[in-house]
Amino acid sequence: MTVFPSQTDNIAYARSLIRTIADYPQPGVSFRDITPLLADGRAMHAVAHELLVQAQGDFDVVAGIEARGFIFAGAVATLARTGMIPIRKAGKLPKPAHRVTYTKEYGEDHLEVSPDLKPGMRVLLIDDILATGGSLKAGAHLITAAGAEVTQIGVVLELEGLGGRLVMPQTRALLSM
Ligand SMILES: O=P(O)(O)OC[C@H]1O[C@H](OP(=O)(O)OP(=O)(O)O)[C@H](O)[C@@H]1O
Ligand SMILES: Nc1ncnc2[nH]cnc12
C-alpha cells in the first residue's frame, strides 16, 4: 500500500527547505531564503494549498506584494480560480491609482496599486514573510484606499521578534521561526 505524506508532513517539509543566511542584505539581518522552497514542487503545492484552505473562501480576489508575494498570490489565485492583483513597488505600474510609503525590516519603500482593484472587492492579501509588518500594513492600506476590503491575510512565514504580529495581528502564518 502506498502511504502519501500528510499535509502536516508536507508543510514541515517546506519549512525544512528554508535557508538562513547571516548578515544579508545588511549586517545583523538573519535572512530567511525561501528560494529552495520555491524550487520544490511538493513544498510549493502544499504551501499554496494551505494558504487557500486557511483563507476559508472568504475572498473574491487575491492580492500579492512584490516581489516574493506575487509567487504565492499567483499560485493561490490559480488554485482558487480567482484573479490576482499585484501590489507593486513604485514606478512599475503605468497607471497607479494609489500609493503608500512604508518602512520594513531593512529600509523604506513605496507600494502602488492599479485601478483594477475595484471598490467592494473582498481581498485575500498574500505575502511570503511577515517581519516588521510594514509591507502588509502598507498593502492593506492600499486595498482600503481603493474602497476594497481585506477579508483575509496570509503569509508563508512569520519571523518572530520583529513586531509584525503586533502590527498585523489578523495575519495567518503557515510557519514561524
Ligand atoms: O514585514 P516587513 O518588515 O515589511 O518585511 C516583509 C517583506 O520584506 C520582503 O520584501 P522585500 O521588500 O524585501 O522585497 P522582495 O519580495 O522584492 O524581495 C518580504 O518579501 C516581505 O514583503
Ligand atoms: N529576515 C528576512 N528574511 C527574508 N525576507 C525578509 N523580509 C524582511 N525581513 C526578511
- Can you tell me which atom of ligand 2 is nearest the CA of 34? 4
Whether residue 66 lies in the annotated active site: no
Residue 114 has pLDDT above 80, yes or no: yes
Residue 2: pLDDT band (50, 70, 90) is: confident
Residue 12 has pLDDT above 80, yes or no: yes
Angle CA 67–60–124, to nearest 5: 40
Predicted-assembly ipTM surpassing the 0.90 threshold: yes
- Can you tell me which atom of ligand 2 is nearest the CA of 104? 8
Decide whether any atom of ligand 1 lies within 6 Å of the 139 Cβ: no
> What are the two backbone dihedrals, phi and then psi, of residue 100, each rounded to the nearest 5 degrees?
-140, 145
H helices then E strands: how many in the chain?
A: 6, 9
Domain ranges of the chain: 56-176
Distance separating alpha carbons of residues 61 and 87, to the nearest angstrom: 13
Read off the C-alpha cell for 173. Answer: 502564518
For residue 90, the ligand closest to its alpha carbon is 1
pLDDT score recorded for residue 3: 85
Domain 56-176 falls under CATH 3.40.50.2020: yes
CA of 111 to the centre of ligand 1 (A): 11
Tell me the pLDDT tens digit for each residue of 54-111. 999 999 999 999 999 999 999 999 999 999 999 999 999 999 999 999 987 777 899 9
Tell me the pLDDT tens digit for each residue of 39-51. 999 999 999 999 9
Distance separating alpha carbons of residues 107 and 85, to the nearest angstrom: 24
Residue 133 has pLDDT above 80, yes or no: yes
Q: Buried b vs exposed e over 102-133: b needs ≥16 C-beta within 10 Å?
A: bebbeeebebbbbeebeeebebbbbbbbbbbb
Cα 124 off chain centre by: 10
| Options 32, 50, 68, 158, the catalytic residue | 68
Read off the C-alpha cell for 50. Answer: 494551505
Whether residue 108 lies in the annotated active site: no
* Number of other CB atoms surrounding residue 92 within 10 Å: 12
State the average pLDDT over residues 110-119.
97
Decide whether any atom of ligand 2 lies within 6 Å of the 174 Cβ: no
Decide whether any atom of ligand 2 lies within 6 Å of the 32 Cβ: yes
- Whether omega before 96 lies within 30 degrees of 0, making that bond cis, reads no
CA of 78 to the centre of ligand 1 (A): 22
CB 22 within 8 A of CB 45: no
CB 99 within 8 A of CB 127: no
